[in-house]
Amino acid sequence: MHFIYEEGGEIKGASAIGQFVSGADHYPAQTQFGKRIKLKAKDIWYSWPSGDLEKTIVQSQELAPEIDMDFLWECSPNEEFKFEQVAKDYFGEQVQPFQIIALAIALQSAPIYFRRKGRGQFLRAPEDQLKAALASVERKRQEAVFQKEWESLMMAGQLPPEIGSNAQQLLWSPDKNGIAYKALLSVSQQLGINQPQLLLQLGAITSPLEIHQGKFLKEYFPKGTGFPTQAKVLEAVWEDISKNLPLSEVKAFSIDDATTTEIDDAFSVTELPNGGYQVGVHIAAPALAIVPGDALDLLAQERMSTVYFPGGKITMLPSTVIDVFSLNAGQARPAISLYITLLNNGELDPAVPPRSVIEKVWMDTNVRLNQIEHLVNETSIEDISRLDILYRHELSILWKATQHLHGLRQKARIAQGQREEKIGPPDANALPRDFHFAILNESGQILSADRLLQKDIDDQSWQPEITSRQRGSVIDSIVSEWMIFCNQTWGSLLADHELPAIYRAQQGWGPQRTRMQTTPCRHEGLGVENYAWCTSPLRRYADLVNQWQLIAYIQQGVMAKLVAPFVAKDTKIMSLCAEFDTTYNAYNAYQQIAEKYWCLRWIAARDLPWTGVVRVMKEGMVRIELIPLRLFVPELMQAARGSRVKVEIMSIDLLMLSASVRVIELLEQHQEFDEVEVDIIEPVIEIAVDESVVTNNDANSN
C-alpha cells in the first residue's frame, strides 16, 4: 500500500512496511527516499494499492505544472471539497493515481486559486479575490521584467530614466520593496560598491556634495530650510517692548566679521566722575518677544542653532526676527546689559558688583574686523595719536580689563592643575585656526547660501577660496574674554538664585568631558565656575532659554523662582538641554564634513599629485598647514607630534572624504605645536563676534 501525505507544505510519498491493517491509527512506512517513518492515519491524504512509488511520484511532479488552474477553478464546486473529488471532472473517468497526486500537488501550490481548509480539503477562492490576486501576480511579473532590464542597463553603465528621476528618494527615503531600489541594490552588490557611488557613476547624482548635504538636510530640515511667511514679531508686541523699555545713555559699538548678520553683542565704555570706567556688555534680547511655547519658539526649537557651512549658513531664527533684534547701527535696540565698574588700572572695582539691566541701547557703529584688526596691537592701542583706529580709547580700556580677567582665569586653571595660557598672538610658526570659505562660480563670483542649498547641485565648475587668520589678536582677546566674563557672571547669578539654566560644563575626562547640563558645574578649560551660554540668543537656543530665565530674575528678583519659564527639576528644560546638545554636535559634525569636502576640492583644483607640508597631530593624523584639512597617514603613526612632513596627495575620494597620501620627506622632527583639541568648532564665518577666539579647550564654542 502506498500513501501521500503533507510535510512542511510539500506533498510526499511513502509505502507501508509489512502487512497493511485497515483502520489502524498509524502505519510503519518507508518514504520514497528510503527513510523509515511512523505515519499517522489522520495525516494520509490518499492511498493506492500497488505500483512503483518513486515512478508514480515523479510522474505526478512532472504533470502538476501542466494542470490548467483556471479550468480547474471553473470545474471545482463552490463548497469545500476533497481533491480526489475533482480528479474525474478534470482527467475523466479513467483517472490514474499519479494524476490524482498531481492534482493534490497543484492545489497545494496554488493558494491564489484555492484555500487550504484541512488535510486534502480545499475551497476555491472567491472570484473577485482571484482576479485581484492574478492582477497582482501579473504586475509582479512585469516588475521583475523591468527590474532585470534596469539591472542590465546599469551593469552596462547606462542610467534607466526611472532610476534617475527617483535618485533623491532612493538615497534618503527608498521604498525597499520597490523594484527601483531592488535593482539598484542588486547592481551595487554585483559591482562591489555602495549605492551612492553607483548613482554617482551613472550620473543620477552630479556631485558628492549633494549626497553629504542631502543626508544632513533630510534628517534635520525635512521641510526645507525656509521659514513660514507669518514667522515674524507682531507689530503690537514690538511697540509694547519699545514703549516700556528705558533708553540707556550709552552709545554702543559691536565688533564683527564682515559677513556677520546676527549681531548678538556690543560694548560701551563710559568714563565715571571718580576717574574709573563703566563698561557695558550689551546682548540682543529676542527673549523679550519670543514666548516659550509660541510659534517663534517652536521654530527655534526645531532648529536649536544656526547651522554654519562653507559659503553660508542656515539661521535659527527668520530674518524678520533677526532684523528686529540684531544690534544694527543707527538704531536703539532692546538689550540685556551687564554693567561693570573698572578702576583706573583696568581691574574690576570690588565695591561695585556687576549690574544687569533690560533696556534699549543706541547702537552707534557696527565695527568690522577688516577695519581695525590689522591696526590694533598692544602698542598701537595705547597710542593716542592713532586716530585711524575706531574706538581706540574704548578698546584700550577694554584691553586693560581683558588682561586682568584673563589673569584671574589662569590662576583658576593653575589651581586645577592645568598649564597657564598666554594672552596675545600665538607663535608665528603656529598653524592658523580660523578660516573663511567662499565658494566661487565659474565666473569667480561668490555663490549665495541659497544656491549652495539647492537640490541637484552641479558644482564641477565651482571652486573654493580659503583664507586664514591667526587667532589671538588684541581684538580677539577683548571680545572673547568679555563674553566669557558675561557668561560666567550670568551663569553664577542664575545658579545662586536656583534658577534652572543650560550650562556648558567641562570636567573630568572621557567622551562626556564637555557637555551641556542643567546643573551648575565647572568649566575646567576656561577656568570658570557656572559657565552658561547667554551671549548668542539669536544663534543658539541654549542662550535663548537662559535669557528667559535671566529676564525673569531681572524683572522679579527673588520672586523669579515662582514666575520663571522653567522651575527647579523641570523636565522640560532637561529635555531641551539634551536635544540642544545632540543637535548642536550634529550641526558641528556636518560643518566639518562640508569643510573637508571643500578642502579636498581646493587640493584637487591644484592638480594631482599635489605636494605640500603637513603637521603631525597624533597617531598618524596630520593637518595640512595651508588649510584646515586633516588626513590619516599610517606611515606617520610613530612620528612626533608637531613634526613637519612633506607629502604628496596622489588621489582623492570626495564621497568617502579621503585621500591617498605618500610621505616624501621629514622636514622637522618636532617643534612646538599649538593646535589644541577643541570640543566644538565655532563657525569661522562669524567667529570674531564671539568669545570663541580665546585659545583653550572650549575655545571654539563660547
Domain with CATH 2.40.50 in the chain: 606-681
Q: Which three cell numbers mark 49?
A: 494499492
pLDDT band at 681 (very low <50, low <70, confident <90, very high): very low
Spell out the residues 6+ positions from residue 151 whose beta carbon is closer than 8 angstroms to its own.
Answer: 183, 186, 187
Mean pLDDT of 444-467: 88
Maximum pairwise Cα distance, the chain:
126
**How many whole angstroms separate alpha carbon 608 and alpha carbon 74?**
73
**How many whole angstroms separate alpha carbon 495 and alpha carbon 489?**
10
pLDDT > 90 in the chain, percent: 48
φ/ψ of 364, rounded to 5, equals -80, -45
List pLDDT tens digits, range 187-238: 999 999 999 999 999 988 889 999 999 899 999 998 888 898 888 887 778 8
Q: Which three cell numbers mark 11?
A: 506533498
Average pLDDT, the chain: 87
In this predicted structure, what is the pLDDT of residue 370? 87
Mean pLDDT of 539-547: 96
> Is 60 exceeded by the pLDDT of residue 675?
no
Spell out the residues 6+ positions from residue 481 whose beta carbon is closer than 8 angstroms to its own.
Answer: 402, 405, 406, 691, 694
List pLDDT tens digits, range 319-361: 999 999 999 999 999 999 999 999 988 899 999 999 999 999 9
SS3 at position 614? strand
Mean pLDDT of 67-87: 86
SS3 at position 201? helix
Mean pLDDT of 253-266: 91
> Is 50 exceeded by the pLDDT of residue 502?
yes
Spell out the residues 6+ positions from residue 571 whose beta carbon is closer than 8 angstroms to its own.
Answer: none
* pTM of the shown model: 0.80
> Is 80 exceeded by the pLDDT of residue 64?
yes
In this predicted structure, what is the pLDDT of residue 511? 64
In this predicted structure, what is the pLDDT of residue 701? 43
In this predicted structure, what is the pLDDT of residue 678? 42
pLDDT-wise least confident of 59-73, 435-449, 665-679: 665-679
pLDDT band at 702 (very low <50, low <70, confident <90, very high): very low
The H or E element spanning position 12 is strand 10-16
In this predicted structure, what is the pLDDT of residue 84? 84
Gyration radius (Cα) of the chain, Å: 38
In this predicted structure, what is the pLDDT of residue 653? 93
In this predicted structure, what is the pLDDT of residue 687? 31
Mean pLDDT of 259-270: 92
In this predicted structure, what is the pLDDT of residue 632? 93
Taking a C-beta distance cutoff of 8 angstroms, is the pair 279, 391 a contact? no
Mean pLDDT of 356-372: 93
**How many whole angstroms separate alpha carbon 409 and alpha carbon 506?**
14
> Is 70 exceeded by the pLDDT of residue 695?
no
In this predicted structure, what is the pLDDT of residue 33? 83
In this predicted structure, what is the pLDDT of residue 676? 43
> Is 60 exceeded by the pLDDT of residue 679?
no
* Residue type at 421 in one-letter notation: E
Q: What are the angstrom distances between the C-alpha of 104 and each of 93, 356, 614?
A: 17, 90, 76
Q: Tell me 688's DSSP state.
A: G
pLDDT band at 76 (very low <50, low <70, confident <90, very high): confident
List pLDDT tens digits, range 100-146: 889 888 888 888 888 888 888 888 888 888 889 888 888 888 888 98
In this predicted structure, what is the pLDDT of residue 116? 84
In this predicted structure, what is the pLDDT of residue 241? 85
Peptide bond into 97 cis (omega under 30): no
> Is 90 exceeded by the pLDDT of residue 173?
no
CATH code at 606-681: 2.40.50
Burial classification of residue 42, based on how many CB atoms lie within 10 Å of its CB (0-12 exposed, 13-18 middle, 19 or more buried): exposed
C-beta neighbour count of 35 within 10 angstroms: 10
pLDDT band at 510 (very low <50, low <70, confident <90, very high): low
* Residue type at 568 in one-letter notation: A
Q: 208 or 458: which carries more pLDDT confidence?
A: 208
pLDDT band at 24 (very low <50, low <70, confident <90, very high): confident
Q: Tell me 84's DSSP state.
A: H
List pLDDT tens digits, range 607-663: 899 999 999 988 889 999 999 999 999 999 988 888 899 999 999 999 999 999 999
In this predicted structure, what is the pLDDT of residue 671? 55
What is the phi-psi region of residue 472: left when phi exceeds 0, alpha when psi lies from -120 to 50, beta otherwise?
left
pLDDT > 70 in the chain, percent: 94
> Is 50 exceeded by the pLDDT of residue 527?
yes
**How many whole angstroms separate alpha carbon 42 and alpha carbon 128?**
34
